[in-house]
Each structure stands twice: as C-alpha cells, then as structure tokens.
Structure 1
C-alpha cells in the first residue's frame, strides 16, 4: 500500500518537477539510485532516465573546482616560465584531437566566470574555439558586462562568424553586446577609410578603445587556417605574410614569432580593433586547444597579449620544452 501511495504521489508531479525531485535527491541529498527508486516507488531505470534528462536540460551542473587545474604542476610552471597571472591546464593525454579540443574549450568555459567582473568590457575574437566556449559557458548574469566584437563580419561557410561569437556569449552572460556593422575587410584601402569615418561605425570603433579584457584563440598561419578558409585572406596574402615571418593570427592580423604585428597589404583594408590596442590589457585570456597552435601561442605570449592561458597538458609540455 505504501509503495502504491508513493507512486501515486510522484505521478501527480509534473514531468519536469519529477526530474528536479530526483536530481535533488541524488545530487543534494546524496542518495543512490536504488534508494531514490524505493522512496518514490519508481524503477531504477526511471531514475537513470530522469538524471539523464536533468543533465540534457541543463538543470544540473557538474564541474571540478578551478584550483584542480590552476594549481596543476604544469599550470604553475607555465605561469612562472612565461610571466602569466594564471594558467588552467586540462589533462588530454591519449585523447583524439576533437575530444582534446572540446576538453580545453570546456575548461575555458568553466573558468571564464571566475575571470570576469561587473563593469568589464570584454573584447571577443572569432573562430570555432570562441564560439564553442560561448555555447558551453553556464548561463549567468554579470552586472554591467559589455561584450564587444573586435573584428568586422565576413562571409564564411562556418556558423562561428565574428558577430555570432560575440552575440552568443552576450546572451549566455546576460550582457550588453556591441557588434561591428561592417565587413572585416574590403577591396580598397580608401573604401575602408571612408567606412571608418561613417558616424555609426566610427562610434562603434571608438567603443573598442574601452576594452579592458580580451578573450581569444590565436590562429595559425597555414593554408587550412580559418583566416584563409573564411576568405578573410587569400592564399597569396598568406604566402606573402609567411615570407615576412608570420607564425600566427590575432583578430585577423598576422604576427611574427615575437608577437609583433606584421604590416602588409591587408592592414589598410581591414575594419576592426587595432592590434596594438590589445597589448597589455588588464587581462588577456588565450585558449589554445591544439598542438598546431604552439608556435602562435608562444608568439602571442611574447607579444604581451596574454595574462591567462587555458590549454591541455600536451600543449603545456610543448610550450615548456622549447628553449
């Protein structure tokens, strides 16, 4: 009779409330699945299904505390070696490239709320890394936070355009979003100069001067780089910059091994934040999810763009192994 009554009581609860009730008993009360099933008069399989539904709906959050990663031996060595204020190192030994990528991005998404504060003006670069982070970060309001798109728009076959990255992150953090209503690059320098003087766009570009923190992933200077595949740079542009010593890309601008911007034929045609404006900010958060970006990451650190680094153990070891 008691079991029948419990079943009737749970059946009277709406579907989502039943899920929440099971999740609470499991995660907050510390009861195991069998105990929950017996208490509520449901099967253990139903308990498992409710817990899975709670995870899929984002009703629960399971994270490891940041110190588990920021006090990792490799994290401490990175901060000391490169003069960083913090590093977050994710174990990725033995993982496939895609799994390792997602682990590092998930780590960055978990750490980001600890790094931003009310009143911040967070400049956001573009690319898959930043977009996936925006998708993974837990929704949470940050008072008086502004997200700023640092690079103009571009025609791209990907979903992670510059405006998509900044807009999605702003939505997740309940922040104000300031996007650039212009292409990232145009055909002529004179046209770019005229566009920069348009009152609406000039006001948007002036806002970029107020950025105090930067969130980005450095790009590579290779033929399969996003800067080429998105059409922002041609293969001829890439070859020219590589010949000048380019090893990476930050916000659409090529940098050399010391992190210095390389002047060249693209610069006068681009619309976005001037790269020197991103040096020495209050905080520069760099996410490096793959071995292909080791040289570019080292250059970004040398150039003064980085105060905090999120990466995997394999990249961390590669960075530390270099002279």
Structure 2
C-alpha cells in the first residue's frame, strides 16, 4: 500500500471526498438538531449537550435549517373570526375565495403574514399541468419559504416581468426561477 499525499483520503479521492463527507456530517447534524428541537421538543441546551456543541451553534443550525426550507412551521387552525371575515369578503365582492392573513398588532408589518398565507395557498393550489404567471416584489419573494416543494409534471412558471426601469433588491427573474424550483 502506497503512502498518502497530504490532503488525500484513504480511498485516494482526496480533499473533494473529505469536503463532501464534512458537508454530509454538517447536514446530518443540522437535521438532527432540528428534529430534536421541533419534534422531540428538547431545549437548545439539551440538544447542545447531546450533540456536543455549544448552544449558539444550535441556534445557528436551527436558523440555517429554516433558511434552507428543511424546516417549515405551519399553524393550522380554523379561527372563527378569520373565517367570518373571509366569508364576508367573498359575499361583499363576489369572490370565489378570500384569504385573510391575520396580524398580531394593528401596526405590525403585513408582509410576513401575507407571505405565509400566499405560500400556503400556492402549495395547496399548484397541480400538474398548470401554467402560473408570476410577477415579483418583496411580498411574493417573501412567500418562497412558505411554498412546499413538490414534483409536478408539465408545470410551467411564466414570468410576467414587463419592463424593469429601476434595479431593486428583489430581482424579478430570480423570483420566477426560485418559484419554479
């Protein structure tokens, strides 16, 4: 058996193999932390003790799992006041369906609530064979983490871009691409 060069693994594939293995361990650790926290309802300190890392690392891993859409939190409840408001809107304006996204306070930023409701609606509505035209903007972009990933056949996303005269923080082409993803 020959000698290994610096940075080369035992199987001879080198640093790339070690990096993939490291990423795999990191991914597994992050998912284990999320499972313990959200499913087993362990505290961050308990998870840190079990996994042998600091609590701050657990906080970062949980945030990363949410950012990667590996963890999605939904609150499902038929709140009578919301249903009453939705029905009133439907009757008043002749709508097939109205959705109300409740705010925790009158002065709260409505974008997170609207985004969560939009993502949930889209997740329930998207079916194979559909064509969906999308615009863009902060609220739509913010809805992406709330859309459940699923494999759909013959599903097409059409960007309704129009003209863009000013560069913004939210890129319209990127929204259509991420939505399609």
Match status 1:106 vs 2:116: yes
The equivalent of 1:172 in structure 2 is: 179
Q: Is the 8 A contact 2:130 2:154 kept in 1?
A: yes
- 8 Å CA contact retained: 1:69, 1:89: no
SS of the equivalent of 1:90 reads coil
Q: Is the 8 A contact 1:90 1:104 kept in 2?
A: yes
User: Unpaired segments of 5 or more residues in structure 1?
Assistant: 1-10, 175-323
Q: Does 1:19 align with 2:30?
A: yes
Map residues 1-323 of structure 1 onto 2, 5 A cutoff: 14-65=25-76, 67=78, 72-92=83-103, 93-96=105-108, 99-124=109-134, 126-128=135-137, 131-133=140-142, 135-138=144-147, 139-150=149-160, 153-159=162-168, 164=173, 168-174=175-181
What is the CA deviation profile of residues 24-72 of structure 1, one whole-angstrom value per residue up to 9, with x for unaligned ones? 1111223232332333344433322322232233321112237559953
- Structure 1 residues 44 and 120, CA, compared in 2 at 3 Å: closer, same or farther? same
Cα–Cα, structure 1 residues 169 and 141, in superposed 2: closer, same or farther, change >3 Å?
farther
CA distance in 2 between counterparts of 1:147 and 1:156 reads 23
Residue pair 1:70, 1:87 contacting (<8 A) in 2 also: no
Which residues of structure 2 form unaligned runs of 5+?
A: 1-21
CA distance in 1 between counterparts of 2:142 and 2:33 reads 29
**8 Å CA contact 2:115, 2:143 repeated in 1:** no
The answer (yes or no) to whether the contact 1:69–1:90 under 8 Å persists in 2 is no
RMSD across aligned C-alpha pairs, in angstroms?
3.3
Give me the whole-angstrom Cα distance separating, in 1, the residues matched to 2:93 and 2:107.
26
* TM-score, structure 2 as length reference: 0.66
Q: Give yes or no for contact 2:157–2:180 (8 Å, CA) kept in 1.
A: no
Max Rg structure: 1
Change (3 A) 1:95 1:80: same
**Larger strand proportion of the pair:** 1
Q: Against the structure 1 CA distance between its residues 144 and 105, is the aligned structure 2 distance closer, same or farther, given a 3 Å change threshold?
A: same
Alignment CA distance shift 1:127-1:24 (3 Å) = closer
SS at match of 2:100: strand
